[in-house]
Amino acid sequence: MEEDPICKNLAPLLSSFVDTFVDFSIGGVFIPQNPNTDSSRPSTHPDPLRTRYPSPDRLVAIGDLHGDLHKSKEALRLANLIDSSDRWIGGATTVVQIGDVLDRGGEELKILYFLEKLRREAATSGGTVITMNGNHEVMNVDGDFRYVTRSGLDEFRVWADWFRVGNLMKSLCDGLEKPKDPFEGIPLVFPGVKPEYSDGLRARIAALRPGGPVSSRFLSRNLTALVVGDSVFVHGGLLLNHVLYGLEKINREVRDYMNGAYGRFSPSFVRVRNSVVWSRKFSNPKKCDCSTLEHVLEMIPGAKRMIMGHTIQEMGINGACDNQAIRIDVGMSKGCGNGLPEVLEINADSELRILTSNTLYKRSHTSPLETDRRVGLGLLLPEHGLKRIQVNA
């Protein structure tokens, strides 16, 4: 007697339902799962990461978010990418989030889930959402939790509770492989750590260590170096040795590391001081190495500018070296400056403008930028400066 096809497919359907239920319980968003995949396990054959994209009609770049979901949504609304119900309305826009979703706030997982939801919604409209790794993503996968907040530990503790519930539900189904325990090998207590923090710390290690459920599912899909049209994106800065090593190779090796296939510690090109996610050579507001930057851009075909985060710009988004360096980290997270959101927009003609919600824009540093406080979306680009456009979102 042939097996009923409904019964045959019941196990993967149940697994998909459990994963979707757990996702909603943790992230508060509905992300349907593919019944043929297990979102809690690293993929043994991940899709290749795409490093280079053609110029879109509209490109929006968003800086560091650091665990602040409210400010993240404000930035997206500022660029008219989501509506009042948090649904994608950006059409065919390409969005790049420059990294540093983790640390300094208590809604890190909610942002990861929200960006994944937007990635899927955008794709149905011809849009693209690209997320990147910052130094804080690498630090957390390395087990460096110096900038974790108590609310951040609590969020991961809740994640662990729901993840265990999901694994328990899956273990009751005979047709499913027994779920792997993500806490295997992690101690119950840690010297010098207060007992009330131990559960959250264990959960964070389990989720984010190489091959962990969160690092493999979300962070391994991030890019570390990206080229969109004539714009190069990186969290810290690309130097000549990074370009010579190969942008595609950097992305591939960081992905393998996040998936647990590289080793216990991250590659040196994302770990040391002048690495891809740590360098401040072009983002220091007081000094930018324009000569080195020019040489780096010459090594990347068609590149006109490098767009980076990592270093808070008290003057807001700004350009240096004749706009070859664009710095977009405005410290918008309430855990890291609590600045008002700003985003960078680039149109099909490679014209740049800054969309800002700051009506009382404070200029505490000398800058070549122009400020435009008109309400609405205005056309931008003076040849040697960026124009700031106030937007009511």
Say which DSSP state 307 is in.
E
Residue 52, Ramachandran bin (φ over 0: left; ψ between -120 and 50: alpha; else beta): beta
User: How many C-beta atoms lie closer than 10 Å to residue 306's C-beta?
Assistant: 22
Q: Helices 108-124 and 69-78: crossing angle, nearest 10°?
A: 30
Q: DSSP secondary-structure letter at 340? A: P
Type of residue numbered 245: Y
Conformational region of residue 246, where left means phi above 0, alpha means psi within -120 to 50, and beta covers everything else = left
By residue count, the chain amounts to 393
Taking each helix axis as running N to C, give the angle between helix 108-124 and helix 150-171, from 0 to 180 degrees, rounded to the nearest 10: 60
Annotated catalytic residue 384? no
Rounded CA separation 174/339 (Å): 52
- Which of the following is catalytic: 45, 70, 136, 310? 136
Whether the CB-CB separation of 371 and 318 falls below 8 Å is answered with no
Residue 309's identity, in one-letter code, is G
Inter-residue contact 325 to 288 (CB < 8 Å): yes
**294 and 239 Cβ atoms separated by less than 8 Å:** no
One DSSP character per residue, 161-179 reads: HHHHHHHHHHHT-TTSPPP
CB under 8 Å to 182, separation ≥6 — which residues? 40, 163, 206, 207, 212, 213
Residues that are catalytic: 136
